Chain A
């Protein structure tokens, strides 16, 4: 589903060069639930941004769903992002003056679905996260956990193959965090690949596989996901090169 080989990312100013990722290699297979952990500044978020085609990388190779990302222009990357990737952010990132229906509608508009198809998908996904009755409510009228559920509905509305979650429970209390995590596990069980960046070892432990990043490199990984009870009982075979 996602494969990076010897990827590097360098931030340059006129004074210094910062290597955010160096010789970074990872292979996430379809249906996996991978947790990426590591200390602050280790490159977790940079990895997630590059994986989500939100940032360009400096060197190496990168495929998503078999598509070579190198050399793609901005429009092609936007289209690929829209069709194959869903995002869940720590801060939910809902648009405050749009109601839940319109928030979930955003990625579908750029996908070019007609009104009936958009409505069907919005209702289906808000129902899936248990908020169908609050479609006309605004984000400020919801709790943090509910807002994150809306963000998940938005991420799922376009039927992405890959879900990228950046500290999805970072702004939630433990009860809400548990609810969101159970929802992610449920989504993964239904076949969506999930890569989740987290600081929380307890959450990371619930993923099929952990990838530890330090100083922009993968330093520790489990090559045998079967060792842990898989969230998705597939034949996933993780390989981190």
Chain B
């Protein structure tokens, strides 16, 4: 019978194209608006590395002032000091670990046709690549020995490699950064993350880096971080050495821990480490070390702003308005069909059969509205990308959201159709058949 109901539904919708268009467009508009904001909201907060997000943990050590927390009510800093980063890397207690910070160096291409430009990079350890799994097109990461040797090596992003070497395999070639030549050991393939979760300090939705160099090399070259730097007391000594010895936080520190037991072990290690530091006069606050995994980190760091939630709420309120409008139009349509409904009852249709028939008709409106709504969502996301460059990575439709849109529109239309359908099925057939 479903095929028959579908056939009748399509027939009925063709009978009054204007009314049908109004209903379909109403739902499409509601779906387009709500799905645009929901897609951005969903992608902002969705798991960026689902296959291992529970294994990757940000390290937070509360080295802040005894007088006040880093952030109310009692949040530890979101970065660590050089002292602690260095100690944790030396201890090497995690399965993988990487300290890192953002650098901006002038990049001086060999090709005289390309002017030098300021390029954003990341100073980190080789484990970064194994932890966050950027895909390599050519070569691979540097090794641990090169980390220790402060080697002049670099991994380029795909874009940088295309810009400097026309996309060819550039491993073994030199790239000049801030007047120093680095040997290319690897070139990444396309790596566009929705959320740059490993460093949220300068915005969650920034583009990935243009190059990666060893952390130790950047420190040796006295490179200051181009990201956030937060201090709660003056450095004990002046100059670069004083900066490294200070309690200023400017380094992101991530570890990979492959089991809950390893997480517990590492947490215990951190507590012991901080207790030892307390004996040296550091860490004046009570123990407050944290190891949030990727998803907890995204929530803690408020990657999804509260106004995005309000926006989603408002857009769904608009969808409800559109649905109320559809309820009214369906009521009018089904009321006009009461003669036919009465006739079908007289010819043997049960209330249940008529209910299903009209729900299928409402479903057809929902599917049509959903498909047009998807197109409107696509345009909506394009507008979001045009208006907010920083949302480029999250204003895209994915399959999950496409299916959600269609399911939502069918559910919305069926919901809108329930009352008019129920009302239509309550008519007494006898009153509709007399002319």
The answer on a CB contact under 8 Å between B4 and A54 is no
A78 within 8 A of B: yes
The answer on a CB contact under 8 Å between B347 and A79 is no
Interface residues on A, range: 20 to 34
The answer on a CB contact under 8 Å between A93 and B433 is yes
The answer on a CB contact under 8 Å between A75 and B350 is yes
- On whether A79 and B346 interact (CB within 8 A), knowing A54-B430, A54-B433, A98-B11, the answer reads no
Residues of B within 8 A of A90 (CB): 434-435
The answer on a CB contact under 8 Å between B352 and A75 is yes
Instruction: Give Cα distance in the complex from A166 to B429, angstroms.
Output: 14
Given A54-B428, A79-B348, A93-B435, 20 more A-B residue pairs with CB atoms under 8 Å apart are: A45-B434, A54-B429, A75-B351, A78-B349, A87-B347, A87-B433, A89-B434, A90-B435, A91-B433, A91-B434, A91-B435, A93-B339, A93-B433, A95-B340, A98-B11, A107-B348, A110-B347, A110-B348, A111-B348, A166-B433
A55 within 8 A of B: yes
The answer on a CB contact under 8 Å between A78 and B433 is no
Instruction: Say what secondary structure dominates the interface of chain B.
Output: helix
The answer on a CB contact under 8 Å between B345 and A54 is yes
Tell me which residues from 390 to 435 in chain B have a Cβ below 8 Å from any Cβ of chain A: 428-430, 433-435
Distance (Å) between the CB of A86 and the closest chain B CB?
Answer: 9
Instruction: Give Cα distance in the complex from A18 to B344, angstroms.
Output: 28
B343 within 8 A of A: yes
Instruction: Give Cα distance in the complex from A126 to B346, angstroms.
Output: 20
Residues of A within 8 A of B4 (CB): 109
Residues of A within 8 A of B11 (CB): 97-98
Q: What are 29 contact pairs spanning A and B, CB under 8 A?
A: A45-B434, A49-B430, A54-B345, A54-B430, A55-B428, A74-B350, A75-B350, A75-B352, A78-B348, A78-B349, A79-B348, A79-B350, A82-B348, A87-B433, A89-B433, A89-B435, A90-B434, A90-B435, A91-B433, A91-B435, A93-B435, A97-B15, A98-B11, A106-B343, A106-B347, A110-B347, A110-B348, A166-B433, A166-B434
Instruction: Give Cα distance in the complex from A106 to B350, angstroms.
Output: 13
A149 within 8 A of B: no
The answer on a CB contact under 8 Å between B350 and A171 is no
Instruction: Give Cα distance in the complex from A166 to B433, angstroms.
Output: 10
B180 within 8 A of A: no
- On whether A81 and B343 interact (CB within 8 A), knowing A74-B351, A89-B433, A97-B15, the answer reads no
Instruction: Give Cα distance in the complex from A54 to B430, angstroms.
Output: 6
- The 8 A CB mask of B331-367 against A (1 = contact, 0 = none) is 0000000011001111111111100000000000000
A38 within 8 A of B: no
Tell me which residues from 306 to 333 in chain B have a Cβ below 8 Å from any Cβ of chain A: none
Residues of B within 8 A of A52 (CB): 346
B1 within 8 A of A: yes
Residues of B within 8 A of A3 (CB): none
Residues of B within 8 A of A83 (CB): 348
The answer on a CB contact under 8 Å between A55 and B348 is no
Residues of B within 8 A of A209 (CB): none
The answer on a CB contact under 8 Å between B348 and A81 is yes
The answer on a CB contact under 8 Å between B346 and A87 is yes
Instruction: Give Cα distance in the complex from A216 to B344, angstroms.
Output: 28
Tell me which residues from 38 to 94 in chain A have a Cβ below 8 Å from any Cβ of chain B: 45, 49, 52, 54-55, 74-75, 78-79, 81-83, 87, 89-91, 93
Distance (Å) between the CB of A220 and the closest chain B CB?
Answer: 24
The answer on a CB contact under 8 Å between A82 and B351 is no
Distance (Å) between the CB of A20 and the closest chain B CB?
Answer: 11
A121 within 8 A of B: no
Residues of B within 8 A of A95 (CB): 340, 343
Closest 10 pairs (CB-CB, A-B): A82-B348, A91-B435, A49-B430, A107-B347, A54-B430, A110-B348, A78-B350, A75-B350, A54-B429, A55-B430
